[in-house]
């Protein structure tokens, strides 16, 4: 019985030609690749106190994901108000930075700084720009308790005053619409405390300018119609240029992306200023306010233009340095804000 079974098994493994058939191979066992996890220690940047220890963090984890994990143990510090850095006094890491690509070992130490309560950039801009629009109109319509009873709800007799109101209103309505439909922000929020500083600047200057331009004793520009026409042309051209640059910058960055590219001129002639400056939107913005100052011949407008130019120059220089650092092939002819000068 045993012999017959053995012979049957042997015959079963032979082919039709009598040759032995190959025995089936057992499937090779798949070895799982070991995953090397990271340990992340988060300390306070000021006191060096240990705040959190994250175990088994995946190597591909981003700083954004680490912030989310940190929030689970410290809910009062939501991701937007966190600044994580490799050195207590170093620069903040970007949300898209990947843990395994940072100059750290498998046990990484990150330092935390609280950025304070945050507010969205959209909310900030809408608040900043809606204020001047509303405040200026209060002075333009001469609501009570501004210039005296006999001037309540009266209208200026000077055409330039009405033109100034249209230009001022157009500027801030344009800004509000751009905030809602054009701008794409690389950062979603900013510190809440900044909104008070920014609103004081925009609202305060708007009230100061409007008070004098709409004053019953306001006098028109010295050179009359010629000065008004020239100033109006400068204002309109610069407003169109500013809008064109904002559209070009929006098209440069896909929606939901933080991609940075070198901005170049398009077929729109207003964008050709990119050939000479890194931030032509600031150049056009300053030009608009210079035009408005010439139009109204008002000292507060001139001071507002000067302060704005100073601040925008600082921003433009910072962006220019950033472009030079990030892009080796950045056009060498460009200046931050004023062609060939600054």
User: Is 7 part of any domain?
Assistant: no
Q: Which residues of 51-76 are buried (b: 16+ CB within 10 A; e: fewer)?
A: bbebeebeeebbbebbbeebbeeeee
**The predicted structure's pLDDT at residue 189:** 85
For residues 123 and 216, membership in a common domain is answered with yes
Residues 190 and 291 in one domain: no
What are the residue ranges in the chain where pLDDT is below 70?
Answer: 1-35, 255-258
Picking from 220, 254, 280, the residue at the C-terminal end of a domain is 220
Query: What does the pLDDT read at residue 34?
Result: 58
Final residue belonging to a domain, choices 64, 99, 116: 116
Say what the pLDDT of residue 8 is: 47
Q: Please report whether residue 14 resides in a domain.
A: no
Identify the domain containing residue 67 by its residue range.
39-116
Judge if 167 and 228 occupy the same domain: no
Does 159 share its domain with 227?
no
Flag whether 31 is in a domain: no
* Count of domains for the chain: 3
pLDDT at 190: 85
| Residue 272 domain flag | yes
Task: Note whether residue 1 is domain-resident.
Answer: no
Q: What is the pLDDT of residue 184?
A: 82
The single-letter DSSP state of residue 35 is: P
Q: In this structure, are 215 and 163 located in the same domain?
A: yes
Report the pLDDT value the prediction gives residue 106, as an integer from 0 to 100. 84
Alpha helices in the chain (DSSP H): 2-12, 63-73, 121-140, 159-181, 193-213, 224-252, 280-296, 299-326
pLDDT (0 to 100) of residue 12: 47
Stretch (H or E) spanning 191: strand 189-191
Residue-level pLDDT at 9: 46
Whether the predicted model's global pTM rises above the 0.85 cut: no
Residue 77 resides in a domain: yes
**Whether residue 202 is found in the same domain as residue 252:** no
Angle CA(174)–CA(218)–CA(292) in degrees, nearest 5?
30
Q: What's 59's domain CATH number?
A: 3.10.20.90
* Residue (of 244, 229, 227, 240) closest to 287 by Cα position: 240
Separation of alpha carbons 231 and 199, rounded Å: 27
Q: Which of 186, 220, 254 is the last residue of a domain?
A: 220
């Amino acid at each position: 019985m045993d012999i017959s079974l053995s012979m049957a098994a042997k015959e079963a493994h032979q082919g039709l030609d009598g040759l032995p058939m190959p025995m089936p191979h057992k499937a090779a066992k798949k070895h799982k690749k070991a995953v090397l996890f990271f340990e992340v220690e988060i300390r306070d940047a000021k006191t060096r106190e240990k705040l959190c220890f994250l175990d088994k963090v995946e190597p591909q984890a981003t700083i954004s994901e680490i912030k989310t994990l940190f929030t689970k143990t410290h809910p009062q510090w939501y991701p937007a108000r966190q600044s994580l850095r490799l050195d207590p006094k170093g620069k903040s890491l970007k949300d898209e930075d990947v843990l395994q690509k940072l100059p750290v070992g498998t046990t990484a130490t990150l330092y935390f700084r609280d950025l304070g309560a945050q507010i969205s950039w959209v909310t900030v801009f809408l608040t900043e720009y809606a204020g001047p629009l509303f405040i200026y109109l209060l002075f333009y319509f001469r609501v009570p308790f501004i210039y005296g009873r006999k001037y309540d709800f009266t209208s200026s007799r000077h055409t330039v005053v009405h033109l100034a109101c249209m230009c001022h209103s157009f500027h801030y309505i344009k800004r509000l619409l751009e905030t809602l439909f054009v701008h794409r922000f690389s950062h979603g929020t900013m510190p809440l405390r900044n909104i008070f500083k920014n609103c004081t600047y925009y609202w305060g200057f708007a009230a100061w300018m409007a008070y004098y331009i709409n004053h019953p004793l306001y006098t028109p520009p010295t050179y009359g119609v010629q000065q008004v026409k020239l100033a109006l042309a400068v204002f309109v051209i610069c407003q169109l240029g500013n809008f064109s640059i904002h559209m070009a910058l929006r098209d440069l960055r896909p929606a939901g992306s933080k991609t940075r590219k070198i901005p170049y001129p398009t077929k729109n002639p207003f964008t050709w200023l990119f050939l000479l400056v890194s931030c032509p939107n600031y150049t056009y913005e300053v030009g608009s306010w210079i035009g408005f100052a010439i139009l109204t011949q008002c000292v507060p407008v001139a001071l507002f233009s000067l302060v704005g130019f100073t601040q925008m120059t600082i921003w433009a220089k910072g962006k220019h340095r950033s472009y030079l650092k990030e892009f080796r092939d950045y056009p060498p002819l460009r200046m931050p804000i004023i062609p060939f000068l600054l």
